[in-house]
Chains A and B, each alone.
Chain A
Amino acid sequence: MRDPKLKANSDSVMLGDWDTDTVRLDFDNTILDEVKYWAFRACFWFKQDGFIILESSRKEYVVKRKGEVLHEWVRASYLVIFNRPAKWDLNVRIMNWVALQSKNAGLEQYVRMQCIKRSSTVRLGPKIDKPPPRVVYRYGKQDRQIRKLLETQEFILDALDMEEVD
């Protein structure tokens, strides 16, 4: 059943999970603590049962002076997925609320794109030089939308003959 050409083709396309019921957020170039802060705020304000944070890409910055490392920090792209299913209007409300409050330019662009498509998508497979997203933080219940998302990721990575990163 497995197609050997599939893995070769996977560089030119991206695979993700899409639907209208799951609340998803995409924070670009942010630190994890900030993402956690906004995820907790949205989780409590909109009564979501729980959430999961996935790290999709990572950049490490180093400040050097005469070969000596003075300071280093990490910035990454994170995806937040909430557990409770929400209708599309509530989904849009939550995404826009976080985008406005956090003032994250990447997230604002992401939300606009989802509104144009009328469904939200997150990447679950590998990108050109980026690995598949991996779970870095979990909070609360994980039995509904999160479970569904992780099952889809397992399906995608299984199709690409890759091991799940968790």
Chain B
Amino acid sequence: MATLRQVERIRELSRQGRSANEIQRQLQKEHLGMKRQRLLKYVREFKGRPAPREPFKYVPIKYRERRRIRIPRKQVAVYGSVNGQSRRVQLYGDGQSLYRAMILVMKRPPRQRFLTIGAGAIVANPPRYLERWRRWDERPKAES
């Protein structure tokens, strides 16, 4: 939290048309320094300016790696039974590759009883992971 004195000083300096950098420097000289993010919040409020829309853009490249935004991927489980024995494929991926992998697995059951695999790997090489001649049972006896 900022003290009342700090807030008053920021308001005063903003009215004089000083930039955030100048205000920060002045506050430090007066032993009223505060966190940059908090200072910017007050300066924006007093100057009536909105917060930047895409702050990610202004993060220097050397820090971007740590703050990389992870795109959530979809995870779909396809399960059923073959000759009364349950089989399950846990797929992860996104968009078209996941859809294609789902089609392939729905047509042919997997070789292993339990398989967790990326959608791209199945699409690239279906015979390696999927049975060629067997089919899923008509009425599956499998649990979630």
Chain A interface residues (CB < 8 Å from chain B): 1, 3, 5-6, 9-19, 26, 109-110, 113, 117, 119, 121-123, 128, 148, 151-152, 155-156, 159
Contact = CB atoms under 8 A, between A and B. Distances in A.
A6 B80 contact: no
B3 interface: no
Contacts of A5: 107
B2 to A, nearest CB: 30
Nearest to A127: B140
A159 B99 contact: yes
A123 B125 CA distance: 27
Given A12-B135, A14-B80, A155-B99, 16 more contacts: A11-B138, A12-B106, A13-B78, A13-B80, A13-B106, A13-B140, A14-B78, A14-B140, A14-B142, A15-B102, A16-B144, A17-B77, A121-B77, A123-B144, A148-B72, A151-B74
B75 interface: yes
A15 B99 CA distance: 12
Contacts of A110: 143-144
The 9 A-B residue pairs whose C-beta atoms are closest, nearest first, are A12-B136, A13-B80, A18-B77, A16-B77, A9-B106, A121-B144, A121-B77, A19-B75, A18-B90
Interface string B101-144: 01101110000001010000000000000000001111110111
Interface residues on B, range: 20 to 34
Interface of B: 72, 74-80, 88, 90, 96, 98-99, 102-103, 105-107, 114, 116, 135-140, 142-144
Central interface residue in B79, B136, B144, by most chain A CB within 10 Å: B144
A159 B137 contact: no
Contacts of A1: 96, 99
Nearest to B103: A3
A152 B74 contact: yes
Nearest to B87: A13
Given A14-B140, A18-B76, A123-B144, A117 B114 contact: yes
Contacts of A14: 78-80, 140, 142, 144
Contacts of A122: 144
A26 B77 CA distance: 16
21 contacts: A5-B107, A9-B136, A11-B138, A12-B106, A12-B136, A13-B78, A13-B80, A13-B106, A14-B144, A17-B75, A17-B77, A18-B77, A117-B88, A121-B77, A121-B144, A122-B144, A123-B144, A128-B140, A152-B76, A155-B74, A155-B98
